[in-house]
Structure 1
Amino acid sequence: MIEKLTGTRETVFHPDNLRVRLYMNVEYEDYPLHWHTDTEIIMPVNNIYTVIIDKKKYVLNPFDIIMIPSGEIHELYAPPTGKRLIIQCDSILLNSFTGIDSISSSFYPCILSRTEDSSAHHPQLVQLLNQVADEYMNRPPLYETSISAILNYFFVIIGRNCIQQDKGPQTVIKQKQHKYIDKFLHICQYINDHCTENLTSDRMAELAGFSKYHFLRLFADFAGVTYYDYLIKRRILFAENLLSDPNLAIVEIAMKSGFNSLSTFNRNFRNIKKCTPSEYRSMYNSRHFEEPSAETSYQDAAR
């Protein structure tokens, strides 16, 4: 399944500019510690499948679903027999979904939805993943648009249900500080739109109408990360898009992304993406210049 592994970094190739890769994986093969810039969705169909993230083991039963976000180091262990659906989504596709950037920090270290939970949303998630597989393998007219739309709705359900169940601070906000939700959604959107500017915590606290101390505490409760970490992640995401342009120098990208020095940019980029900006650019370029043929991409779904 892993086509190119450099150290622990996997380069994911997306066929036909889909920005999505899908496997119906039946291989009796384990995959040691690795990471990639894609968000990965795994759903066993037959038999169990084991995922280890940050030394925590997740044993997935048939039709359990785990979502592993971009940059998260993980291991995969397969039983001697079985089948599992694996979907890898390019970060550019995910970030094109309106509003997803306001909750993406809550995806870490993973999102888990189990059949045994008997929740109303889980069968919907299973159905949507099966629809993606059907579109990917049969490729009817406009299948690219259909896959994007289905995944968009998949993440809507994840955002409305799974995050609030899995993340304690989200539940606290919902129960005790519901009146602040709209305000902080607006604040997050403002940060997303102006992340390259000098957004000090004092400025944002004033915009929110709180004292600096109160703002920082409420923001961390709402977003699941500190204000500073959220802002840095938004700047790194902005930089990722610029890195696809080979005409921009790394130092220019650093300045355009809101960092006041190249060293600060490099340090934060490595901390979040587990590689340097130059390495990320090389991965992006190799992905686009070494993509497999259309014939090969059709075979991926049956692997």
Structure 2
Amino acid sequence: MIAFYENFDHPYRTFWSHNMNFNAHLQKQVEILYVLEGELSVTINHNSTLVKPNELVIIFPNTVHSYETKNYSYVGLLIFDTSLTGDFANQLIKYKCSHPILSPKQVHPDIIYCIRAILHSQDEPKSLGLMKGYISVILGRAFEHLTLEKIIYSDHTDLTHKTLLYLAEHYKDSLTLAGLAQVLGTSKYHLSRIFSNKIGCNFNTYLNTLRIGYAQHLLANDSLSITDIAFECGFESQRTFNRTFKEISNITPSQYRKQMHTM
């Protein structure tokens, strides 16, 4: 699992990921997932689909989604701001799609070319103009097969979104369920039910998952010490960080760093 569930300052990020798993979350950006090998379950607004090789998923902004790999998966992932989507920005922000998954037959060769061009050159700087071009082609071909409907928010849906959006921005801060409830103007008991019934885990589990996801990114891409990474991710001690990291990732932080650097 590679950390990408943060609203990064950079307008786009790209990843290859093996055996991706992540609890329910959302972000301001658009997310495109392309399965190369294996399969994984993608849940979008509580609807789960087993996505197989050569299938494509488009996650619209502020859409609750999660990933689960039971055996093996190898995927390419693009995350980018709506500012890079040109004429598609309005549709992505104001509309939703109940089944934003393209079958292999619907994935046009132009889409595959653009995704591979982006991912195979992920370590090379790309101009925003070039990225806009690739993204426009991907969305243009994909939207030929998507059915959109205008978003109508309920108060309940809004609270779920507000909760996840706030945590996406503040997960490195010192947080408690009661403190989050106060910020959101609700009771901690109601918020606890949101986590259990809508997000699928309790507050602490979700918060730690976000923090460990970011830690994985730092371990794979930064030279910070494990102690510094622990504090950077919001943990109060390296001991707590190490224990939580192993609970979520099934290996220690040092083992994860070594594994990432030998891939």
**1:8-34: CA deviation from partner (whole Å, max 9, x where unpaired):** x9xxxxxxx96359xxxxxxxxxxxx8
Counterparts in 2 of 1:227 and 1:270: CA distance versus 1, 3 Å? same
Q: Which amino acid aligns with 1:280?
A: Y
> Aligned-pair RMSD on alpha carbons?
4.9
**1:221-243: CA deviation from partner (whole Å, max 9, x where unpaired):** 23222222211111112222322
In structure 1, distance between residues paired with 2:67 and 2:258: 17
In structure 2, distance between residues paired with 1:285 and 1:248: 14
TM-score, scaled to structure 2: 0.54
Q: Is residue 2:120 matched to residue 1:133?
A: no
Q: Is residue 2:206 matched to residue 1:227?
A: no
CA drift of 1:122 comes to 4.6
Q: Is residue 2:71 matched to residue 1:74?
A: yes
In structure 1, distance between residues paired with 2:70 and 2:110: 28
CA drift of 1:279 comes to 2.4
Counterparts in 2 of 1:286 and 1:37: CA distance versus 1, 3 Å? farther
Query: Is the 8 Å Cα contact of residues 215 and 233 (structure 2) preserved in structure 1?
Result: yes
Q: Which amino acid aligns with 1:135?
A: C
Corresponding residue of 1:204? 180
Counterparts in 2 of 1:125 and 1:215: CA distance versus 1, 3 Å? farther
TM-score, scaled to structure 1: 0.48
SS in 2 for 1:202: helix
Query: Is the 8 Å Cα contact of residues 43 and 66 (structure 1) preserved in structure 2?
Result: no
Q: Map residues 238-249 of structure 1 onto 2, 5 A cutoff.
A: 238-249=214-225
Q: Which amino acid aligns with 2:201?
A: V
In structure 1, distance between residues paired with 2:220 and 2:261: 8
Whichever of the two has the greater Rg, that structure is 1
Corresponding residue of 2:15? 19
Query: Is the 8 Å Cα contact of residues 208 and 215 (structure 1) preserved in structure 2?
Result: no
Q: Which amino acid aligns with 1:35?
A: N
Unaligned 5+ runs, structure 1: 1-8, 10-16, 22-33, 45-49, 77-86, 99-118, 162-173, 288-303
Query: Is the 8 Å Cα contact of residues 270 and 276 (structure 1) preserved in structure 2?
Result: yes
Query: Is the 8 Å Cα contact of residues 36 and 76 (structure 2) preserved in structure 1?
Result: no
In structure 1, distance between residues paired with 2:16 and 2:70: 20
**1:99-145: CA deviation from partner (whole Å, max 9, x where unpaired):** xxxxxxxxxxxxxxxxxxxx875558863464432335689x97766
SS in 1 for 2:75: strand
Query: Is the 8 Å Cα contact of residues 135 and 143 (structure 1) preserved in structure 2?
Result: no
In structure 1, distance between residues paired with 2:35 and 2:107: 13
Counterparts in 2 of 1:36 and 1:51: CA distance versus 1, 3 Å? closer
Q: Say which of 193, 196, 199 aligns to 1:217.
A: 193
CA drift of 1:253 comes to 0.6
Corresponding residue of 2:168? 192
Q: Map residues 8-157 of structure 1 onto 2, 5 A cutoff.
A: 19-20=15-16, 35=19, 41-42=34-35, 72-75=69-72, 88-89=75-76, 93-94=78-79, 121-123=100-102, 127-128=106-107, 130-135=109-114, 150=138
**Going by fraction, where is helix more abundant, 1 or 2?**
1
In structure 2, distance between residues paired with 1:203 and 1:147: 42
In structure 1, distance between residues paired with 2:254 and 2:182: 37
SS in 2 for 1:258: coil
**1:27-59: CA deviation from partner (whole Å, max 9, x where unpaired):** xxxxxxx83689974489xxxxx8598xxxx99
Q: Is residue 2:233 matched to residue 1:257?
A: yes
Number of aligned residue pairs:
200
Query: Is the 8 Å Cα contact of residues 202 and 212 (structure 1) preserved in structure 2?
Result: yes
Query: Is the 8 Å Cα contact of residues 230 and 237 (structure 2) preserved in structure 1?
Result: yes
**1:131-160: CA deviation from partner (whole Å, max 9, x where unpaired):** 432335689x97766556638x97xx99x9
Q: Is residue 2:178 matched to residue 1:178?
A: no
CA drift of 1:192 comes to 1.1
In structure 1, distance between residues paired with 2:253 and 2:54: 37
